[in-house]
């Protein structure tokens, strides 16, 4: 049974599962029990589990339907979803504007690149190291950042991001300078090389789902509520017994955690990295995803990342105007729809 065969099996299982959900959901309806409250609470307008199941199936079979170009775009979108969700923890949940997020992304990518090319480690053993080192750098940046308010914080994170980029650009002996690192090997899974894009798609998809799951769980946890309190009113949060310092540290390192993961995935996909990919504009681009979709909202941020990755691909002929439109878009968003696209006012 080849890959196509096993995928077909997977498709069947998912279809069966969603069918099960439908039957379970509407069995009461079918057997004549009147539609009670538990079937349609006023705020849920559709069966979300079914929608999720169908989306998942679609995502799983995607490489069979569409060509490599689309898969390439989807992998990129997946990496950006991870990044945007990570930044959303910092900006959206805890209200700390981080304009140097690409630095952690870069640290993740370079750790992976250096460990695989210079230390001879495999991709999967470098990945946790990337995540670990990015998280630690998040903690380090949190030290100066903790004492600062909104806009000062933004400028310090921006400065830190630029320092990282300039270091990568100038430390020729380690990072290869402006030429970057090339020849990063593709990851192996059970001795099977994920060299094709359509193969690499699956680990990325897995990590995207993993990120969504963890971030969502965290959002509704005690920690998540503490972050929200911190965002809304730092003084009041502290008065309520929330250790603001601890939660700021947590937010910074947790955001950097995902950036490290995304960085490693990026390195594994491109197999070549250079400081070019981690400029200030990249940080702004990720921040735009968070802002566009809706600061703090998880589906909103995913939507924002998808829009900002896919839209430029669709509008290829207007590529020159991409950043121009992004700039205008930011201003218009702030003036007319500061809550983002997803949430209602």
Partner 1 sequence: MFLQQIVIGFTVGGVYALIALGYTMVYSILELINFAHGEVYMIGAYLGIIFLGIFTAIGLTEQSLPLALLLTFILSVFFCSAYGFTIEKLAYKPLRWAPRLSPLISAIGVSIFLQNYVMLTQGATDKVFPHILELAKIEFFGVTMTTLQIFIIATSLLLMMVLHLYVMKTKTGKAMRAVAQDRIMASLLGINIDRIISVTFIIGSGLAAVAGLMVAMYYGLVNYYIGYIAGIKAFTAAVLGGIGSIPGAILGGFILGIIESLAAGYLSGEYKDAYAFIILIIILLIRPRGLLGKATP
Query: Given the rule CB under 8 A, which residues bind partner 1?
Result: 95, 97, 99, 144, 147-148, 150-152, 154-156, 158-160, 162-163, 166-167, 170, 280-281, 284, 287, 291, 320-321, 323-324, 326-331, 333-335, 338
Question: Within 10 Å of residue 211's Cβ, how many Cβ atoms?
Answer: 23
* Shorter beta-carbon distance to partner 1: residue 85 or 160: 160
* Shorter beta-carbon distance to partner 1: residue 87 or 204: 87
Smallest separation (angstroms) from partner 1 to the CB of 299: 21
* Shorter beta-carbon distance to partner 1: residue 62 or 155: 155
Helix axes of 123-145 and 150-170: crossing angle, nearest 10 degrees: 140
Smallest separation (angstroms) from partner 1 to the CB of 32: 52
* Shorter beta-carbon distance to partner 1: residue 265 or 295: 295
Smallest separation (angstroms) from partner 1 to the CB of 164: 10
* Shorter beta-carbon distance to partner 1: residue 184 or 256: 256
* Shorter beta-carbon distance to partner 1: residue 71 or 103: 103
Smallest separation (angstroms) from partner 1 to the CB of 260: 22
**Phi, psi angle pair for 191, to nearest 5°:** 75, 5
* Shorter beta-carbon distance to partner 1: residue 13 or 324: 324
Smallest separation (angstroms) from partner 1 to the CB of 342: 17
Smallest separation (angstroms) from partner 1 to the CB of 328: 6
* Shorter beta-carbon distance to partner 1: residue 186 or 279: 279
Beta strands 192-193 and 181-182 are unpaired
Residue count (the chain): 345
Smallest separation (angstroms) from partner 1 to the CB of 321: 7
3-class DSSP state of 63: helix
Smallest separation (angstroms) from partner 1 to the CB of 333: 8
Using CA atoms, how far apart are residues 239 and 245, in angstroms rounded to an integer?
13
Q: Please say whether the beta carbons of 253 and 135 come within 8 A.
A: yes
């Amino acid at each position: 049974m080849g890959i196509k065969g096993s995928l077909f099996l997977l498709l069947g299982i998912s279809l069966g599962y969603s069918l099960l959900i439908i039957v379970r959901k509407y069995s009461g309806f079918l057997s004549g029990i009147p539609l009670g409250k538990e079937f349609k609470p006023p705020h849920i307008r559709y069966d979300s589990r079914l929608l999720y199941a169908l989306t998942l199936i679609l995502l799983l079979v995607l490489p069979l339907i569409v060509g490599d170009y689309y898969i390439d775009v989807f992998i990129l979108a997946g990496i950006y979803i991870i990044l945007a969700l990570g930044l959303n923890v910092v900006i959206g949940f805890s209200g700390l504007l981080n304009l140097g997020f690409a630095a952690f992304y870069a640290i993740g990518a370079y750790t992976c690149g250096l460990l695989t090319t210079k230390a001879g480690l495999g991709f999967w053993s470098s990945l946790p190291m990337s995540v670990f080192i990015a998280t630690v750098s998040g903690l380090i940046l949190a030290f100066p950042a903790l004492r600062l308010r909104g806009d000062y914080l933004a400028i310090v994170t921006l400065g830190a991001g630029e320092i990282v980029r300039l270091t990568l650009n100038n430390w020729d002996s380690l990072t290869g300078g402006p030429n970057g690192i090339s020849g990063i090997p593709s990851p192996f899974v059970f001795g099977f090389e994920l060299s094709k894009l359509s193969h690499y798609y699956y680990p990325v998809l897995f990590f995207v789902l993993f990120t969504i799951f963890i971030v969502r769980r965290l959002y509704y946890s005690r920690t998540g509520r503490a972050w929200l309190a911190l965002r809304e009113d730092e003084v009041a949060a502290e008065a309520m017994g929330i250790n603001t310092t601890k939660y700021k540290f947590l937010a910074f390192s947790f955001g950097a955690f995902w950036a490290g993961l995304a960085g490693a995935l990026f390195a594994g996909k491109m197999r070549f990295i250079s400081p070019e990919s981690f400029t200030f504009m990249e940080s702004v681009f990720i921040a735009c995803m968070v802002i566009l979709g809706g600061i703090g909202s998880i589906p909103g941020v995913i939507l924002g990342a998808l829009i900002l990755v896919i839209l430029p691909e669709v509008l290829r002929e207007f590529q020159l105007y991409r950043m121009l439109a992004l700039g205008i878009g930011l201003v218009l968003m702030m003036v007319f729809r500061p809550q983002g696209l997803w949430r209602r006012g």
